[in-house]
Amino acid sequence: MTVNIEVVEVCQTDQNGGVLCYVAAIYTQAHGSTEKTLVRKSRLPGAAAELKKEIQRDGIRAFDRITGGDR
């Protein structure tokens, strides 16, 4: 199965570099489909970068730990 992975990440900092707001949302979209599925949403800074490492290491199987499902 081929999927697209979309990461939406928002980070707002103050004038001193302190994090005011951080949100990362990760979506999958089956190839040829217009429907997106939210896989993970996190407010922990660095969540998107951590998931990227997991996907590079484990491929689509990285989502099995998140969703508990079989892909």
Q: Which tens digit of pLDDT belongs to each residue from 10-54? A: 999 999 989 899 998 888 898 889 999 998 888 888 888 887 788
Domain that holds residue 58: 3-67
Categorize the per-residue pLDDT at 70 as very low, low, confident or very high, splitting at 50, 70 and 90: very low
Report whether pLDDT(69) > 70: no
Q: How many whole angstroms separate alpha carbon 9 and alpha carbon 11? A: 7
pTM flag (> 0.85): no
Q: How many whole angstroms separate alpha carbon 48 and alpha carbon 62? A: 13
**Residue 50 · residue 26 · CB < 8 Å:** no
How many structural domains are present in the chain? 1
